[in-house]
A and B are shown apart, each in its own frame.
Chain A
Amino acid sequence: MPDERRYGRGAFLVLLGGGASAFLWASKVSGVLSPFTSSVSQLFGNLFPVGGWRIYTISGSMPIFDERAWRLDVVGLVGKPRSFTYQELAALPRTHEIRTFHCVTGWTVHNVRWSGVRLSDLLDLVEPQASAKAVRFTSLEQPYNDSLTLEQARLHDVMLALEMDGRPLSRPHGSPVRVVIPEMYGYKGVKWLTKIELLDSQPIGYWEGLGYDQDAWVGRSNGYHSA
């Protein structure tokens, strides 16, 4: 005699309920699994984003770095505007950081090894004027830009990264140079950087125009409250 009982609806509801309940616990589980998943991710390079990076672009495709054409212009309210070639930028003194990268959409990558030029050192070279209050970063990817107050830009761990995990920055990660602000969510860290401007007030950047917070402190902005 076959078992005529209606297990089907039960199975369906359990699956549905279990899946829906993940709205409460998914990130906790993801956090517990992340040491494992991020090592898997590193094993496969950038093939899988398991526990690793997700690449977001706002335009059709990622900018291509052409060393002959590329310049980093540092302009605006400065005493000595500069236009750096890649070689000139790469020749500046280096700083190194091992930091966790936080995306505002919830994923993180632990222990990213950054190497590059401390932004504060670069700003010293161009001699900001007294009226300069903010720094705007512009990407080769139009119309992406974002900004920091001059005070934030002077934080000792803010850098223009030329290398990630021991290798020159790859195209998906913003080659040749991206901004790294470890204390803030990733959308502030402009990739494919091509221009830095010093301004007398802080403008609204690309994502801020879409409702994200100007001060993107990790855990203290964009609706996050945990420390």
Chain B
Amino acid sequence: MATTPRSRNRLARWTRTERAVHWVHATAFCILLGSGLCLYLPSLAEIVGRRPLLKHIHLYTALAWAIALLLIVAVGDRRALLRTAREVDRLAVEGRMNRRQKLNIIVTAAFAILFAVSGFDLWYGERDTQFRFTNALLIHDWLMYIAFFIFVGHLYYALILPSTRHALSGMTRGWVREDWAQKRHPAWVEELRATNEKGSDL
């Protein structure tokens, strides 16, 4: 089987600010999922014990996540974030991101807010039982189940599936190989070339 030669050209894919948002969210998600499951699954709760500690980890991770995201927005490249948001908004357009990637971002953002709101109520409802909504617990659970499967799918594309896993380079180093981009995101490469011909940098 003939292999296409690997191009040396690199295309800038994600800015430092975008990557910071991604990794802050990813790290927080993993810690929250792990500590949350230890609180939630009876079998894990029995093995791990230490419920008050896990509760603290869960709570302070959530707090740190929110503060870190606000900080990134405050000091980071807001124009890059805004540009990405506008791209995501045009959901049907296949550009730097394909439709499923855009949908993933939309779901992740909406879930983050719903997780935060229901989680806040779980915390606050313990302090003032008047504001304890039964449904907050169910919503938090259901979000977790859905988010878990999306997360597994995300990891599959990012780490395992050979045709897509080079995308990880974009999220770690910030760039991807041009030949890979040509295959996975041809419209994006075209866009970049068009911009280039007008005289601006990649």
Contacts and interface: CB of A to CB of B under 8 A. Distances in A.
Contacts of B51: 56-61
Contacts of B187: 2
Contact of B134 (A56, A105, A211): A105
B46 A172 contact: yes
**Chain A interface residue number, banded:** 35 or more
Contacts of A211: 128-129
B21 interface: no
Nearest to B49: A61
Interface string B113-138: 11001000000001011101111111
A221 to B, nearest CB: 11
Contacts of B45: 55, 57, 172
Contacts of B106: 8, 11-12, 15
**Chain B interface residue number, banded:** 35 or more
A204 interface: no
Given A20-B114, A60-B52, A212-B129, A8 B89 contact: yes
Contacts of A7: 89-92
B72 interface: no
A8 B90 contact: yes
B34 interface: no
Contacts of A54: 40, 42
Contact of A47 (B41, B111, B143): B41
Contact of A106 (B46, B94, B135): B135
Interface in B130-150: 130, 132-139, 142-143
B129 A222 contact: yes
14 contacts: A2-B94, A3-B93, A4-B92, A5-B90, A9-B89, A12-B106, A19-B111, A19-B114, A26-B139, A27-B134, A57-B45, A57-B49, A105-B132, A211-B128
A210 to B, nearest CB: 8
A106 B137 contact: yes
B42 A223 contact: no
Given A5-B90, A8-B102, A46-B42, A23 B53 contact: no
Interface of A is mostly: loop
B88 interface: yes
A36 interface: no
A91 interface: no
B110 interface: yes
What 8 A-B pairs come out closest when comparing CB atoms?
A61-B49, A106-B134, A8-B89, A7-B91, A15-B110, A26-B135, A3-B92, A26-B138
A16 interface: yes
A12 B135 contact: no
Interface of A: 2-9, 11-12, 15-16, 19-20, 22-27, 30, 45-49, 53-62, 105-107, 171-172, 210-212, 222-223
Contacts of B53: 60
Nearest to B114: A19
B50 interface: yes
Contacts of B133: 23
B107 interface: yes
Contacts of A56: 51
B33 interface: no
Given A20-B117, A54-B40, A223 B138 contact: no
A9 to B, nearest CB: 5
A222 B142 CA distance: 24
B64 interface: no
A24 B42 contact: no
A53 B138 contact: no
Nearest to B47: A61
B103 interface: yes
A110 B46 CA distance: 23
A23 B133 CA distance: 8
A20 B118 CA distance: 9
A8 B91 contact: yes
